[in-house]
Amino acid sequence: MEQMEEKGRAFKVSAALDALLLLASFGVTITWLIGEPPFYSDTSPVMSGFTSLSIFLMAGSRLARKLLFGWPTALTLAVIGLVMGGNVSSMLIHLTMPPELLASFNIVLTSVMTSVGLTLFCLYELMVALRETPQSPIILDDILLHLALVPGGLSLLGVLLSNPTYISEGSDPRVGISLFEMAFMGVYAVSAVLSNPDLFLWQFLAKSWSNRVVFLALFANQFVAPLVVAYLFIGVSANTSGPGLELFVLLASVVATVSFLAMQAYLQRRAAST
């Protein structure tokens, strides 16, 4: 009974967060259409109108799946596929089009790192739309959600270290992941976790307080360890060019967290089968 109540509360919170994202992303998209985007700057990353449109479609699709009885799965797949295709196209444009030609259009596209995160979110949404999260030692849904946050975490690291390499793309300082955009993607991730009680993460956290402390420590370590390395070995400087040791420490910390959860899932499934 208590678990049912907790799931009900999580559902309500996730629906409220999705509704908030839907309204906020719609507002940002409209401001781009009228030429007055929020927190706009010519010298630092801004939230692209294409990014806000992507989040609007993703949040709207998920909210409709929760609240509208009979919402067709095919429509969800179409919307998510559209968003994923658009972000893959954005990545290809950045990687193949000459910067001079791209700058001539004066369009703020979604950055490569943002597109990577949104594409991973889309893959996750496709998975949960097609089937319930399986009770399997291969915790693909958990891994996709975790990896989708890496680009935003890397940009946050760039802000904390004042390293422009992690903040924006060199060809256009407006193209990157702004703090405003990080907030949107962070809320989207929280709502995704709350929306899916079948994630292995919930099972792991529900077992004991020690599990919660361990996961919190691993998650926090993804940001603390790179900062410690940056301060101890390369310092923090606005003039730092290119990635440093902190990038590899961040990636190693992410792998450690994901591997730990995957191993715990494997051990739990093996114990259940014996």
Give me the count of residues in the chain.
Answer: 274
Q: Cα–Cα distance between 91 and 269 in angstroms, integer? A: 38
DSSP bridge partners of 151: none
Contact 227, 157 (CB under 8 A): yes
DSSP bridge partners of 16: none
> How many beta carbons lie within 10 A of that of residue 29, not counting itself?
21
Q: Taking 80 as the threshold, does the pLDDT of residue 219 lie above it?
A: yes
The packing angle between helices 112-130 and 73-96, to 10°, is 160
CA 170 centroid distance within chain: 22
Predicted confidence at residue 97, as pLDDT, reads 80
Contact 115, 95 (CB under 8 A): no
Contact 236, 253 (CB under 8 A): no
Question: What is this structure's pTM?
Answer: 0.88
Helices (DSSP H) in the chain: which residue ranges? 2-33, 49-67, 73-96, 99-104, 112-130, 140-148, 150-161, 164-167, 179-195, 200-207, 209-229, 245-273
Predicted confidence at residue 20, as pLDDT, reads 95
Q: Taking 50 as the threshold, does the pLDDT of residue 258 lie above it?
A: yes
**If you search the block for the tokens 């658009």, which residue do you land on?**
86
Range with the poorest average pLDDT among 18-22, 188-192, 196-200, 241-245: 241-245
Mean pLDDT of 32-48: 86
Per-residue pLDDT reduced to its tens digit, 131-153: 877 777 788 899 999 999 888 88
Predicted confidence at residue 109, as pLDDT, reads 83
Check residues 244 and 64 and name the one with the higher pLDDT.
64
What are the boundaries of each domain within the chain?
A: 2-273
Predicted confidence at residue 164, as pLDDT, reads 76
Q: Taking 70 as the threshold, does the pLDDT of residue 82 lie above it?
A: yes
Return the DSSP state at 234: I
Contact 122, 84 (CB under 8 A): yes
Share of the chain above pLDDT 90, in %: 36
Nearest in space to 80 (alpha carbons), one of 116, 139, 121, 33: 121
Range with the poorest average pLDDT among 36-40, 50-54, 117-121: 36-40
The tokens describing 188, both together, are: 């989207």
